[in-house]
Structure 1
Amino acid sequence: MGKARQTFERRQLGLTLRRLREEAGKSQQAAAAWIGKARSQFVELEDGRGTLAADVLENLLDLYGVTDDERATVIELGALARARAKRRAHTDLLPGSFQRFADLEANATEINCYEFGIVPGLLQSLGYVRAMIDDGDGVWWQPSHAELSERIAFRLDRQERTFGSAEAKTLRFVLTEDALTGAVGSPDVMREQRRHILKLLESNDNLTVQVLRSDTYGNPARGGGMTILGFGGRGSPIGFTPTVFGPSTYLDQEADIADLLRVFQRLQELALDPDESVRLIRRIDEED
């Protein structure tokens, strides 16, 4: 195992291996011993500051019982983690990209998220989640009850990993007013969604939600979305820009993160403050 500087690809590999280890019920000490390494080296690996030779990675995956497509994906992650190429942006083209985003999200200590016209995934109610995924069933993928259920379960698990984390996260969201009045599911679903946000705010002191009014001028991110993940002392921030179709882009260069944070701060300035936002959500709900 070589000690290396932390890169996006190595962080993806490390977090993926951590999740697989936990799912397999193995300790860091046991996993380190299995591949003949010190626990300190193994910690470096899971923190994205280490790499594994291909044969050693294969051996570790044997311990975790990882097979088939998932195994092939992790092996490819390992190859990317060993590469020295430096790129400004990172596009995750491998299968299971949503799971790797969720791993990064769960590892973050700070999440700053802006969405235009849609409620961010972490704030979505069960009915909203079901309606959003149902809208894509048979369109983005072949109709499948099993896949529908898996996608819903994944979204709910992602929320639990964030809001149920033993380590409190700082969560800041800016969403546009039309996200609160949109036609997702049914009027009842939208009513449930607004009340779900209010309940989350009541039960999570570390959560801030601001609403950007539809009549606000000067929005520098109109039509787009972004998430900036902070990791405290565990690593540098990572930016994420989602797309409707195709792979999403990650940014981890200091200049790019500075740009994203500057835009997010501008959105916070333009949006209603947290108390005003709560009052607006309640007013929309009362008038519905």
Structure 2
Amino acid sequence: MGVARPTFERRQLGLTLRRLRDQAGKPQQVAADLLEKTRTRIVQLEDGTATVSQEELVKLLDCYGVTGDERVTVLELGAQARRRQKRRVHVDHLPDAYQRFADLEASASEINWFETGIIPGLLQSPSYMRAVFAECEGVWWDENDSQGHDRLAYRLERQTRLLESDERRIFRFVVTQDALRANLGSPEVMEEQRSHLLALLDAHRDLTVRVLPNDAYPNPARGRGLWIFGFGDRAAPVGYSPAAHGPSAYHDDEADTSRMLRAFYRIWEQSLSRSESRRAIEGIAKE
């Protein structure tokens, strides 16, 4: 392993290896002894600032008990991490991309999230989630798909992993006014969702939810979602562009993430304050 620039591919590999090591219940020193390296080198690998050869990666996967399709995917991640990447956008075409997204999300110290027409996933109540998934059945996946329960469990686990963590994070969400009034599921579902938002604001002091009025102008992200993950001094920000179907794109080039942050903060400035947003949610709930 050598010291390397923390490209997006290396960061994704490192986060994956950290998760697999944790799942196997192995301390970093065990991995270090296996590769005859110092523990510091394993820390660098998991932080995305060190490279790993295919032979070393195979040893780690053996140690962590990783087999089957997941093993093939991690080996391909390793191959990508060793290449010189010149592209500005990374598109994750490998299986189980949702898991790598969750790893990246959980490692962020700051999450800035704008979504139009829908409540962001981390803020959704269980009934609202079910209603969202129900709208997609028979369109993006087959009706009665066996993975339906897994989708719900995965989203609930993401919420717990981030919102209930002892790690301090900055959460900034902008919710559009029309999303609070949307006809999703049933009136009872929307009532539960609005109550859920208010309960989250009461429970989490690091969480800020702002409401963007329908007549707000200007909105440089109109009609699209905008997510930017910050990592403090540990790494450069990463922007995420969700797709309705198929793989989504990650941006870690400074020119791109700077534009995405400018767009987010423009929307943030046009939104109601935290206290005004709370009153707006309460007002809609009483209508």
TM (norm. structure 2) is 0.97
Q: Amino acid of the residue matched to residue 140 of structure 1?
A: W
C-alpha separation between the residues in 2 aligned to 1:88 and 1:243?
A: 17
> Is the counterpart of residue 167 in structure 1 residue 153 in structure 2?
no
**Residue of structure 1 equivalent to 2:74:** 74
Question: Within 5 Å, which residues of 2 pair with 1:174-189?
Answer: 174-189=174-189
Deviation at 1:145, TM superposition (A): 5.5
**Residue of structure 2 equivalent to 1:201:** 201
C-alpha separation between the residues in 2 aligned to 1:95 and 1:144?
A: 21
**Residue of structure 1 equivalent to 2:266:** 266
C-alpha separation between the residues in 2 aligned to 1:51 and 1:183?
A: 49
| Number of residue pairs aligned between Structure 1 and Structure 2 | 287
Q: Amino acid of the residue matched to residue 96 of structure 2?
A: G
Question: Within 5 Å, which residues of 2 pair with 1:99-118?
Answer: 99-118=99-118
Q: Amino acid of the residue matched to residue 216 of structure 2?
A: T
**Residue of structure 1 equivalent to 2:21:** 21
**Residue of structure 1 equivalent to 2:246:** 246
Deviation at 1:142, TM superposition (A): 2.6
Deviation at 1:134, TM superposition (A): 2.5
Q: Amino acid of the residue matched to residue 68 of structure 2?
A: D
Deviation at 1:18, TM superposition (A): 0.5
**Residue of structure 2 equivalent to 1:59:** 59
Deviation at 1:187, TM superposition (A): 1.1
C-alpha separation between the residues in 1 aligned to 2:244 and 2:103?
A: 21
Deviation at 1:244, TM superposition (A): 0.7
Deviation at 1:271, TM superposition (A): 1.0
Deviation at 1:186, TM superposition (A): 1.3
Question: Within 5 Å, which residues of 2 pair with 1:130-145?
Answer: 130-144=130-144
C-alpha separation between the residues in 1 aligned to 2:65 and 2:136?
A: 32
C-alpha separation between the residues in 2 aligned to 1:180 and 1:35?
A: 53
For the residue of structure 2 that corresponds to 1:57, the secondary structure is helix
TM (norm. structure 1) is 0.97
Q: Amino acid of the residue matched to residue 224 of structure 1?
A: R
Contact 1:105 1:229 in 2 (8 A): yes
Contact 1:110 1:231 in 2 (8 A): yes
C-alpha separation between the residues in 2 aligned to 1:123 and 1:13?
A: 28
**Cα deviation code 1:30-80 (max 9, x no counterpart):** 122122221110000000111211121111111111111111111110000
C-alpha separation between the residues in 1 aligned to 2:28 and 2:164?
A: 22
**Residue of structure 2 equivalent to 1:212:** 212
Q: Amino acid of the residue matched to residue 57 of structure 1?
A: L
Deviation at 1:221, TM superposition (A): 0.8
Deviation at 1:264, TM superposition (A): 0.7
Q: Give unmatched runs, 5+ long, in structure 1.
A: none
C-alpha separation between the residues in 2 aligned to 1:24 and 1:144?
A: 33
Deviation at 1:138, TM superposition (A): 3.2
C-alpha separation between the residues in 1 aligned to 2:130 and 2:61?
A: 34
Deviation at 1:124, TM superposition (A): 0.7
C-alpha separation between the residues in 1 aligned to 2:115 and 2:146?
A: 28
For the residue of structure 1 that corresponds to 2:114, the secondary structure is strand
**Residue of structure 2 equivalent to 1:86:** 86
Deviation at 1:199, TM superposition (A): 0.5
Alpha-carbon RMSD across the aligned residues, in angstroms, is 1.1
For the residue of structure 1 that corresponds to 2:233, the secondary structure is helix
C-alpha separation between the residues in 2 aligned to 1:155 and 1:223?
A: 23
> Is the counterpart of residue 158 in structure 1 residue 139 in structure 2?
no
Deviation at 1:90, TM superposition (A): 0.9
For the residue of structure 2 that corresponds to 1:51, the secondary structure is coil
**Residue of structure 1 equivalent to 2:40:** 40
C-alpha separation between the residues in 2 aligned to 1:165 and 1:110?
A: 13
Q: Amino acid of the residue matched to residue 273 of structure 1?
A: S
C-alpha separation between the residues in 2 aligned to 1:227 and 1:259?
A: 12
For the residue of structure 1 that corresponds to 2:217, the secondary structure is coil
C-alpha separation between the residues in 1 aligned to 2:206 and 2:6?
A: 28
Q: Amino acid of the residue matched to residue 204 of structure 2?
A: N
Contact 1:15 1:46 in 2 (8 A): yes
Contact 1:134 1:148 in 2 (8 A): no
Relative to structure 1, is the Cα distance of residues 144 and 55 closer, same or farther in structure 2, using a 3 angstrom cutoff?
farther
Q: Amino acid of the residue matched to residue 271 of structure 2?
A: A
Deviation at 1:255, TM superposition (A): 1.4
